[in-house]
Amino acid sequence: MIFQTARFINSCYDLAALPPDDGTEVIFLGRSNVGKSSLLNALCGRRLLARTSKTPGRTQCLNVFEISATVRLVDAPGYGFAKVPETVKKQWQSLVMRYCQTRESLRLIVLVMDIRHPLQPADREWLDLLGGSAVTLAIVMNKSDCLGRMQQRKSHDLVEKYCRDALMPVNLFRSSSRSGKGIDELRLFIQSQLD
């Protein structure tokens, strides 16, 4: 499992600080507090690889992790309700959007949602912005251990319908960083996009 070799290489506050634009990259996006960093840790089998916090907005730049000489994972700042000034939120959004629009090595965008609160306005905004991208999009409905099966299905169907109505091809997953449910399936999918 190549994810186990992951190591942190840099925190990038602007695109110029990123590694050379070659190889393959996967970016993880999502609202503050949906568990992006925890999901990344679960995928890599490393509890403390990406910093996690109960305080929304701790990830404030593009944190880059190398899993091989040619493959990198990127943890993006959360969008939504982080307690930071509006100007800072706009800077984060601009950084992430420029990355998604210009990065040649980007192969997969993983948008993480809290399964209990799918399709918040900021999620819809990002889906609409990314929907026309040529880059493969995966939506991960995280924290599935917090809901019963019927409620999980309801959230899943809601997101699936939104994407179908928007004619947006998407790969939809349910996961729990805490229980490990769905992590293996997601890991296999991400590996399939790295070739």
What is the CATH number for 162?
Answer: 3.40.50.300
CB 177 within 8 A of CB 183: yes
Q: What is the pLDDT of residue 53?
A: 43
Report the length, in residues, of the chain.
195
Domain that holds residue 105: 2-192
The per-residue pLDDT for 78 is 82
Q: Each residue of 22-35: pLDDT tens digit?
A: 999 999 999 988 98
For residue 25, the model assigns a pLDDT of: 97
Using 70 as the pLDDT threshold, list the residues of the chain that sit under it.
1, 48, 50-59, 80-84, 195
- Number of domains the chain contains: 1
pLDDT on residue 48: 66
Task: Output the six-digit token pair for 17.
Answer: 């600080």
CB-based contact 108:190 (threshold 8 Å) = yes
What pLDDT was estimated at residue 68? 92
CB contact burial 6-40 (16+ within 10 A = b; e otherwise): beeeeebeeeeebeeeebbbbbbbbbbbbbbbbbb
pTM score, whole prediction: 0.91
Q: According to the model, what pLDDT value does residue 66 have?
A: 94
Nearest to 160 by CA among 93, 94, 115, 103: 115
CA–CA dist 134, 80 (Å, integer): 25
Distances in Å between the alpha carbon of 138 and those of 9, 46, 48, 96, 103?
Answer: 24, 22, 24, 16, 17
CA distances from residue 71 to 16, 68, 149 in whole angstroms, order as listed: 18, 5, 35
In tens, the pLDDT along 26-62 reads 999 999 889 898 899 999 988 767 665 444 445 678 9
pLDDT for 56 equals 46
- pLDDT, residue 130, reads 86
Three-state DSSP state, 140: strand
Burial pattern 155-192, b for ≥16 Cβ within 10 A else e, equals bbeebeebbeeeebebbebbbbbeeeebbeebbebbee
pLDDT at 55 (0 to 100)? 47
